[in-house]
Homo-oligomer: A and B are copies of this chain.
């Protein structure tokens, strides 16, 4: 919780992005002939409210804490599967054996993650890194459809 906002953390809390995504997601689901409402809407609500590194169990927990309509763990997994098939969420495996999920913005806006040794996670976005990766893709002669970057770090001593 630093008092200054660096370029690096402007993705951490962006309510507008959540709302935008949630609207988008519900539209895509309806267009696909699927139904919103019930557990699926609840999961979308959680993902919209907090877009970073949520485990399936985390989603169940937030719903329970919020007191509103909940969702069974199986439903959460099924919903995440559905959303992933529609490119509405990304799956990430930070290496602890538990998959994490976060919303995927329709405009391709995204972030990467710093994993600290103490377990803390910090999202970041960096245009120069994105640039470097796209240049690299050209150099490798591949057609890029996505990319993940994880930085492992220790608190600066």
Q: Point out residues on A near B: beta carbons under 8 Å.
A: 6-8, 91-95, 97, 99, 114, 117, 124, 126, 128-129, 132-133, 135-137, 139-157
**Do A126 and B137 contact each other (CB < 8 Å), given the known contacts A95-B93, A147-B151?**
no
Interchain nearest-CB distance for A134 vs B (Å): 10
Query: CB distance A128 to B137 under 8 Å?
Result: no
CB nearest neighbor in B for A96:
B93
Q: What residue in chain B is nearest A146 (Cβ atoms)? A: B152
Which of B93, B136, B141, B156 has a CB less than 8 Å from the CB of A94?
Answer: B93
Interfacial chain B residues near A94, Cβ < 8 Å:
93
Q: Which single member of B8, B99, B136 contacts A126 (CB below 8 Å)? A: B136
